[in-house]
Amino acid sequence: MLIALNKPYGVLCQFTDEQGRPTLADYVKQPGVYAAGRLDHDSEGLLLLTDDGRLQHRLADPRHKQPKTYLVQVDGAITDEALAALRRGVPLNDGPTLPAQAVHATEPEWLWPRDPPVRFRRNIPTSWLTLTLREGRNRQVRRMTAAVGFPTLRLIRVRIGEHALDGLAPGHVRVLAR
């Protein structure tokens, strides 16, 4: 079984939490499935879950280089130079990243409001980009945008390989395969 979840902001990518915070168990009712990869609690969007260990490994293991695409809102008006740096690869404290696909984007009409909302500062603009990676380091997108001078404000994964959000509402699940 392969399931897509649009993970809401603030939900942990695990099924239990001793502190009572929201988890996958609040949204996914199918027994015996596990997340194929992670999204941090402050990130939103597509999370794939499966009961097939080999499929989980293929989807999550960076050695298989499944492209993952993110819609990213950043602090400031992102420059062409910053996008070019992301495309070349960015030096991080754990080594340089692989080159990424990075393009300007606009806030899509289909995007849901975040709760809580992203902070608004009248004198500092925000901008959007689409970023596609083929590796999966801890908080990589956030570290990459910060490294080029544009900290991430909102991060939404919209695609993993051939699987996309495709209108799936936050907190909702879609069975992709049995």
pLDDT tens digit string along 149-169?
A: 999 999 999 999 999 999 999
pTM: 0.94
Active site members: 40
pLDDT at 55: 84
Amino acid 52 reads: D
Go through the domains of the chain in sequence order and give each one's CATH number. 1-64+162-178 (3.30.70.580), 67-160 (3.30.70.1560)
Q: What is the DSSP letter of 12?
A: B
In this predicted model, what pLDDT tens digit does every residue of 89-123 receive, in sequence order? 999 999 999 999 999 999 999 999 998 888 777 77
Torsion over CA: 157, 92, 75, 24 (sign): positive
